[in-house]
Structure formats: C-alpha cells, structure tokens
C-alpha cells in the first residue's frame, strides 16, 4: 500500500506541472532511468488536455513563434499561452511553452503602438495627444520595445492653442513640443491617397499623393509596406525619402503582392496607411533567340536572356531528348550562361530541346528547338495573309498545307517523310520539316512545293499567298578565299577551310574550264590539302575555277565564288572575279 501511494505521488507530480529550467536535467535523469536523457520532454498533450512526460521522441527544433504540442507526435503550434512569444528557435526537449511573456504599456503616458506577434514583443508609444513624450532616445522614432529599452514617458509642460493638437517631439528630445495645425493632424489620420500600383517596363511603379497643405519640410520619409501573405507583422518597410513614387524590382513569379504606404514626419509621428493595392505577377519571361548550330559533329545551343527583368531570373533549365521525349535529360545552367555545347553527337538522330527560365521553382513557357542530324533534311515555310485572322482559320490552313506537302512528296522520286509542322502566332505562318532520301534536287523540290502552296482558297476561306522558302539543313559551306595564280605555265588554285557545319569535310572538288564553261574538268582533292596545281596551260590561256566542299554520301556545297587567271609567261598573276568582271 505504501509503495502504491508513493507511485501515485510521483505520477501526480508529472502531470500537475513540468519541471522548471533548474529542475529539468535532474527530472530527465530520474524519469528516463538510464535511457537517453536528451529525449526527455514535458509537453502539452492536446488529446489528453494535460501535460505529458516522455522519453520516446527524438528532440526537434522549432522555428520562431512556435512551441511543441503532442498530437500523437510532437507538432509545432503557435504559442498557446495568451500574451506569450518566442523570439528564437526552441527545442522540444528544452521547454514546455514559449519562454517569454509580452510586456505591457501600462505606465503613465504609455499606450499600445503594435500588438506584437508570436515571435515579437509588443511596442508602446507615448500618448502625444495628451502631451506625453519619451524620456530618452529610443531605437525607433515612432515606438519603443519595453523588453529592450526604457519606454518611460513624461508629461511636457507646453500647452496647445485652441484647435491644435500635440505631436510628440521625437527628433530633438527637447523639452519643447511641436504643435501642428488641425489640418496636418487630420492628414495623419487620413494618410496618403490616390495610391496606385502599375507595371512600367521591368519595374512595378508605386505612386501616391498627399495634401499640398502639408509642408514638405515636415516630412522625413515615406514607408512602403508589402507582403505576400495575409499578415503585415514582421514586415520591414521600404523607406523613400522625398519622391512620391518608387520603382520595385525584381519580384517573385505567380505571386500576389499587397502594398500600402504611410508618411513619417520629422517629429516621429507616422500617418495612417493608404488604401491597400495588390499586384499579381506572371510566369518568368521566355529565353529569347534560341538557336542551334552544328559544327563537326557538335551542337552549339545559343540564346539570349528574357526581355522582361521584372521577375528575378535564377537559372535556366535545359531539357533534351533523342527519342521524342520517351526519355530525357535535364541540365541546370546558371543565369549568366547563354550557350551550351553537346559533343560527339550521332548521325540520323532527332535532337529535341526545351529551354525555360526559372525563378523560385516556377518555369517560364518553353522555347523549343529540334535539330536533325540527317542528310537530306529540309526546312520549309509559307506565309499567307487574310482579312480576318482567327484560330479556326489558322488551324484549318495548317492542316491543308500539310496535306498538300504530303501529296507533293508522294509524287516525287525517292522517299520523303514529313517530320513536324507548326503554325506561328500573328500571320498565318506554317513551317514544316521533312526528309528526302535518294532525291536531292533542291530546285525541283522548291518549285513543286511552291506551286502547290500558292493556293488562294482553303475550304471556305480566301487567303493571299505572300512568301515561300525552302532550306536544306546541314549543307556544307563552300571553301573561303579561293584564288588562282599563274605559276610556270600552270595555275595554282588555293583556298581556306570552309565555315564548319555539322558533318565533317571529307574532300574538296576543284572544277575548272579552259573555254568559258563550254566544257569543264573536275579534280577531287583530299581534305588535308588546301591547294591544287593545274598543269599544261598554254600561254595567254584563261582558266576559270570553282571549288566545292564535299561531305559523306557525295553531298557537295554550293560553289565558291568563281575566280580566274590568264597565263602570260612566267610568274605573272592575275585575279578575275566572275561576278564583277574586274581584274
């Protein structure tokens, strides 16, 4: 019976109150009885409506303004006790409640300024309307924190004239008092008006008005408050000295910003805030001018930053795939990087890319590009104008263009495959990509497609044909700086390497004529050579030359600029450019 009573006494102690800070370690050692004393906690149990001791939970650290309460497991909740606050992180194994109680504004001349929060003490001010002012300097001009500084007030001796109000002299702390007219005192109760929040380029412009009766010399600054949630507590205002506007940037994407503004006078008094205004931000802007260049089996991706800098750009995200997005790889790039190189790419592949700008885990709309590492890949497009542009017209015309392209390709030699098509915003611009195997007559492809797409009527709609273009991708570039010189009854033709494209140069082809292209001769030159000597040239003979770049599958570039020379004896050199006729 005695043991039972003692046991009840100990249990009763555990639920009546939690140990004080000085008792905490001793109680933990006794209660946990050999287990880890760091797990000891005495927390309020919301299910049992009483405090509970335990040694079964790993200690956790809360944020400011919260304490731990047991709901099966310890969960953080705002300070439970009325008037308490917690200004720093608190461990579940350190205390049962938020550790501080808020101060009071009950001394003579004191009134409440701000009620504080779960993580901050309240603040007081002196009742300046009754003639009270702070005894000494305070950290802020308009209020005082009792837990950090002396907030005592005293009654000033000066008296107000009829129809005037007291405003506390916070600036000089002199025994005198600043007395303002009833007009200014009334403005303090009204605050700024005509508060507007508008987008202006890369900024959000905040502007407001105040009464022209208020002397500018009495104004210390303006305070702009902004928040992204439903609370204005713990908000650090933006201070603006004299201007009645402010340009704000950058902002976070997909957020609703709330703004209001007040006036602080040189005597330390802050006016009532203006009417609240809101501003909704959108997605980050897209990267601009996204392009892909092929060079010697490498792909170089280039882009420019987004045009609009209102949303802060954190990084770029590049997504790539070679199997039509069945699988993909994502690469994160710093916001100052505007290019990316992919080495050792393979032939006969479709490299698809999606580039987005990212801010606060929110992505912009994507910029998409596809690069086909295939021979005989063509890109084409057609532009139509119409008197009334709608999405229905655009979609219908795109479908009809695709049908016409497939119809033309089916009537041509070889094997043509349509890869993709798209319609751009604005005018009716339809672009498409296709592969032509075993048929590389570009001129025939161009004329056949252009003639088919010069229609003026698509279904019930009339359109106006504007332009057509066709381009073969991955074509080699012609050699550069080709020239010919007479050397000892022969002609030396030399050139510089061509601009690199995706497929590596395999060879060069020198084409020349002795009779103004009535007949011609061709010589294949290895890729490691950049010159060729034409022999057995008679004196006074004119030699005209073009040079081509050759890659695999017998594909040639366009010819270089034609050059020519006349052999007139030993070591005489003349340069003739066919397009100008000059020497």
Confidence of residue 217 (pLDDT cuts 50, 70, 90): confident
| pLDDT of res. 388 | 77
Average pLDDT rounded to a whole number, residues 156-178: 47
| pLDDT of res. 157 | 63
Please count the other Cβ atoms lying within 10 Å of the Cβ belonging to residue 69: 19
For each of the domains in the chain, give its residue range(s) and CATH number, in order of start: 14-101 (no CATH), 110-184 (no CATH), 191-280 (2.60.40.10), 288-372 (2.60.40.10), 377-472 (3.30.70.600), 480-577 (2.60.40.10)
pTM: 0.57
CA distances from 317 to 328, 333, 524, 534 (A): 12, 6, 46, 55
C-alpha radius of gyration, the chain, whole number? 41
The overall longest dimension of the chain from CA atoms, in Å, is 136
Please count the other Cβ atoms lying within 10 Å of the Cβ belonging to residue 360: 14
Q: Answer yes or no: are the C-beta atoms of 127 and 166 closer than 8 Å.
A: no
What's the rounded Cα separation, in Å, for the pair 348 and 367? 23
| Cis preceding linkage at 163, omega within 30 | no
Q: Answer yes or no: are the C-beta atoms of 548 and 478 closer than 8 Å.
A: yes
What's the rounded Cα separation, in Å, for the pair 456 and 462? 6
Residue 334 has pLDDT above 90, yes or no: yes
| Both structure tokens of 207 | 């502007």
What's the rounded Cα separation, in Å, for the pair 83 and 69? 18
Beta bridge partners of 514: none
Range in 7-11, 327-331, 383-387 with the lowest mean pLDDT: 7-11
Residue 383 has pLDDT above 50, yes or no: yes
DSSP letter assigned to residue 19: P
Q: Answer yes or no: are the C-beta atoms of 486 and 564 closer than 8 Å.
A: no
Give the rounded percent of residues in the chain with a pLDDT score beyond 70: 88
Please tell me which residue, 159 or 105, carries the higher pLDDT value: 105
Q: Answer yes or no: are the C-beta atoms of 247 and 200 closer than 8 Å.
A: yes
Predicted confidence (pLDDT) per residue in 542-572, tens digit:
999 999 999 887 888 889 999 999 886 654 4
| Both structure tokens of 253 | 């994407």
Instruction: Write out the E strands in 146-192.
Output: 153-155, 164-167, 178-181
59, 61, 65, 69: CA torsion to nearest 10: -30
Closest C-alpha to 141, from 272, 273, 267, 271: 267
What's the rounded Cα separation, in Å, for the pair 452 and 400? 11
Beta bridge partners of 355: 318, 367
Kind and range of the H or E element at 221?
strand 219-227
Predicted confidence (pLDDT) per residue in 347-357, tens digit:
888 899 999 99
Please state the φ and ψ torsions of residue 480, each to the nearest 5 degrees: -105, 155
Confidence of residue 579 (pLDDT cuts 50, 70, 90): very low
Please tell me which residue, 96 or 146, carries the higher pLDDT value: 146
DSSP letter assigned to residue 130: G
Q: Answer yes or no: are the C-beta atoms of 264 and 220 closer than 8 Å.
A: yes
Range in 38-52, 515-529, 560-574 with the lowest mean pLDDT: 560-574
Confidence of residue 259 (pLDDT cuts 50, 70, 90): very high
Confidence of residue 287 (pLDDT cuts 50, 70, 90): very high
338: three-class secondary structure by DSSP: coil
Residues 6+ away with beta carbon under 8 Å from 60: 68, 74, 91, 92
Residue 336 has pLDDT above 90, yes or no: yes
CA distances from 153 to 130, 150, 166 (A): 11, 9, 14
Residue 4 has pLDDT above 50, yes or no: no
Average model confidence (pLDDT) across the chain: 83
Average pLDDT rounded to a whole number, residues 192-211: 93
What's the rounded Cα separation, in Å, for the pair 535 and 512? 12
Predicted confidence (pLDDT) per residue in 472-513, tens digit:
888 889 999 999 998 877 899 999 999 888 888 999 999 999
């Amino acid at each position: 019976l005695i043991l039972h009573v003692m046991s009840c006494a100990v249990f009763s102690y555990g639920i009546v109150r939690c140990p004080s800070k000085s008792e905490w370690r001793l109680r933990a050692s006794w209660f946990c009885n050999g287990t880890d004393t760091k797990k000891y906690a005495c927390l309020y149990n919301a299910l049992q409506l009483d405090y509970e001791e335990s040694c079964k939970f790993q200690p956790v650290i809360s944020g400011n303004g919260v304490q731990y309460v047991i709901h099966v497991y310890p969960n953080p909740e705002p300070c439970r006790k009325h008037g308490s606050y917690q200004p720093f992180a608190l461990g579940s194994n350190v205390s049962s409640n938020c550790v501080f109680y808020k101060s009071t504004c009950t001394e003579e001349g004191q009134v409440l300024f701000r009620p504080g929060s779960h993580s901050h003490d309240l603040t007081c001010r002196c009742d300046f309307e009754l003639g009270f002012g702070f005894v000494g300097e305070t950290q802020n001009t308009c209020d005082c924190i009792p837990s950090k500084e002396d907030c005592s007030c005293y009654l000033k001796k000066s008296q107000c004239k009829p129809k005037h109000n007291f405003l506390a002299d916070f600036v000089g702390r002199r025994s005198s008092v600043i007395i303002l007219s009833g007009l200014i005192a009334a403005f303090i109760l009204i605050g700024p008006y005509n508060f507007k929040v508008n987008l202006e380029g890369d900024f959000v412009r905040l502007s407001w008005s105040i009464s022209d009766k208020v002397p500018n010399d009495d104004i210390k600054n303006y305070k702009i408050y902004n928040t992204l949630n439903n609370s204005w507590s713990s908000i650090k205002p933006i201070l603006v000295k004299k201007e009645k506007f402010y340009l704000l940037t950058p902002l976070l994407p997909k957020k609703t910003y709330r703004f209001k503004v007040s006036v602080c006078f040189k005597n330390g008094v802050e006016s009532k805030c203006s009417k609240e205004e809101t501003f909704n931000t959108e997605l980050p802007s897209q990267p601009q001018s996204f392009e892909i260049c092929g060079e010697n089996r490498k792909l170089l991706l280039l882009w420019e930053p987004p045009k609009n800098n209102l949303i802060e750009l954190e990084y770029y995200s590049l997504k790539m795939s070679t199997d039509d997005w069945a699988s993909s790889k994502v690469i994160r790039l710093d916001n100052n990087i505007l290019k990316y190189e992919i080495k050792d790419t393979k032939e006969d592949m479709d490299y698809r890319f999606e580039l987005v700008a990212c801010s606060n885990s929110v992505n912009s709309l994507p910029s998409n590009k596809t690069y086909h590492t295939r021979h005989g890949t063509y890109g084409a497009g057609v532009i139509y104008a119409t008197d009334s542009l709608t999405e229905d017209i655009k979609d219908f015309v795109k479908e009809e263009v695709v049908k016409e392209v497939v119809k033309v390709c089916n009537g041509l030699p070889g094997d043509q495959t349509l890869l993709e098509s798209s319609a751009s915003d604005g005018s009716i611009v339809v672009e498409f990509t296709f592969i032509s195997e075993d048929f590389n007559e570009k001129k025939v492809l161009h004329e056949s497609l252009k003639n088919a797409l010069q229609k003026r009527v698509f279904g019930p709609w009339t359109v106006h044909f504007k332009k057509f273009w066709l381009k073969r991708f991955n074509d080699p570039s012609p050699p550069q700086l080709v020239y010919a010189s007479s050397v000892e009854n022969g002609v030396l033709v030399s050139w510089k390497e061509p601009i690199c494209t995706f497929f590596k140069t395999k060879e060069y082809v020198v084409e020349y004529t002795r009779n103004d292209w009535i007949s011609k001769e061709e010589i294949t030159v290895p890729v490691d050579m950049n010159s060729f000597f034409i022999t057995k040239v008679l004196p006074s003979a004119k030699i005209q030359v073009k040079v081509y770049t050759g890659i695999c599958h017998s594909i040639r570039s366009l010819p270089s600029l034609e050059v020519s020379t006349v052999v007139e004896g030993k070591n005489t050199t003349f340069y003739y450019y066919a397009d100008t006729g000059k020497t």
